[in-house]
């Protein structure tokens, strides 16, 4: 399965862990949501482009009590 995802400004909690909510779409066109706790680049790779793109993401809003928020 392949999914393209885009960061949102929403934060929620899954099992007591704060996670950012990402909007996604599968290769077949099915809309979905992805909850991301951590994301990283392997230590032996150049992460400068990744860090630049990450810094351009919208700041998260305060943690939501219910999900999804529309």
**Residue 64 falls within a domain, yes or no?**
no
Query: How many domains, in total, are found in the chain?
Result: 1
**Residue 66 falls within a domain, yes or no?**
no
pTM: 0.73
Domain interval for residue 29: 3-55
Mean pLDDT of 42-62: 87
pLDDT at 35: 93
* CA-based torsion, 42, 53, 69, 18: positive or negative: positive
**Residue 32 falls within a domain, yes or no?**
yes
The predicted-structure confidence for 8-51, as pLDDT tens digits, reads as follows 988 898 888 889 899 999 999 999 999 998 889 999 999 999 99
| Confidence band, pLDDT 50/70/90 cuts, at residue 60 | confident
Contact assessment for residue 1 and residue 58, using Cβ atoms and an 8 Å cutoff: no
Whether omega before 50 lies within 30 degrees of 0, making that bond cis, reads: no
Residue with tokens 């951590």: 38
């Amino acid at each position: 399965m392949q999914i393209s995802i885009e960061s949102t400004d929403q934060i929620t909690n899954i099992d007591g862990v704060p996670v950012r909510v990402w909007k996604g779409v599968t290769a077949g066109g099915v809309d979905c949501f992805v909850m991301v706790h951590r994301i990283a680049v392997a230590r032996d790779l150049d992460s400068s482009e990744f860090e630049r793109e990450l810094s351009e993401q919208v700041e998260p809003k305060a943690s939501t009590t219910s999900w999804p928020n529309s």
